[in-house]
Structure 1
Amino acid sequence: MKKSIVIIAILVTVGAGYAIWKGADAADQKTAQAPETGAALVEVKLPGTLSQNAEIGKAAFEAKCSACHGANAAGQDGVAPPLVHKIYEPGHHGDESFQRAAANGVRAHHWRFGDMQPVEGVTRGDVTMIIAYIRELQRANGIY
């Protein structure tokens, strides 16, 4: 009888230890799979070269837009959407929509990042160059 109780106690202890170990492993996997706030939302393939206008636009984008929209317009989890995305293809969001968003801000409508505020200190000319950069990134990623 005592031998049975000892065996049952060992099995319960081993079973509980295994359950705790697997629970911790599952939590680690869940954490590893969850994107961090600020993590890029899409993988962006860079074009081999950029036009002169797109080079100017890249510099302007990095100065005024990348803090929210991420490096190479890949977006940032919990911050702002990727602009290298089919939602922003020219047939859906024409160049003027970028101009208006920069000048006036835009109410959230495709994503759950909240409203975009106007971008201080950019001109229509700056935004034209930024658009050239974004469109070249989009084309390099199969978005026309």
Structure 2
Amino acid sequence: MSNRRLVAAAALALVLVVGWYRLSDRGPERGGSGAPLAAVAVPDALDPQARAGRALFEANCAECHGPTAAGRDGYGPPLVHPIYEPGHHADAAFDLAVANGVRAHHWRFGDMPPVAGLAPREVGRITAYVRALQRHNGIE
């Protein structure tokens, strides 16, 4: 095979791989606006556990999921969504997601990497905040 044909075949293979990656659930959505993906009402009062979880969520999760877990276009899904209700994603799913990351399976935002530096107790507080938001928005 001539060098020219080899370069053309390699270029075609690269285009196909990049196209597959961008259309699959393995690649993050490109060009998102960062706008919230859901309307989330925040309760006037949170119990101490959820209040502590709110601060932890804002520091560790809000960049992708938004400060009220409403998601962000192009960044991450809303956690105040029926997919994440306790009967489908138990509290342990949040523990596992933080510790190990998550392979994309419900949304086209790409894989979620592990979140370093959070102790299990802190993840429990974050989960309490998300569950409080969910309950307040009719997701139980």
For the criterion TM > 0.5, the same-fold answer is: yes
2:131 to 123, 127, 135: 135
Deviations 1:29-84 (A, max 9, x none): xxxxxx95200000101112100000000000001000111121010001100000
Displaced runs of 4 or more, over 2 A = none
Q: Which has the larger radius of gyration?
A: 1
Percent same amino acid among aligned pairs?
58
What TM-score do the two structures reach when normalised by structure 1? 0.75
Structure with the bigger RCO (C-alpha within 8 Å, sep 6+) is: 2
Structure 1 vs Structure 2 CA RMSD: 1.2
What's 1:120 paired with? 116
Q: 1:80-95 counterparts in 2 under 5 A?
A: 80-95=76-91
- Where does structure 2 lack aligned partners over 5 or more consecutive residues? 1-30
Where in structure 2 are the equivalents of 1:68-87 lying within 5 Å?
68-87=64-83
Q: Which amino acid aligns with 2:55?
A: A
Gaps of 5+ in 1: 1-34
Structure ranking higher in helix proportion: 1
Count of residues in correspondence between the two structures: 110
In the alignment, the residues of structure 1 paired with residue 71 and residue 36 of structure 2 have an alpha-carbon distance, to the nearest angstrom, of: 5
- The answer on 1:53 being equivalent to 2:35 is no
Q: Is the 8 A contact 2:36 2:66 kept in 1?
A: yes
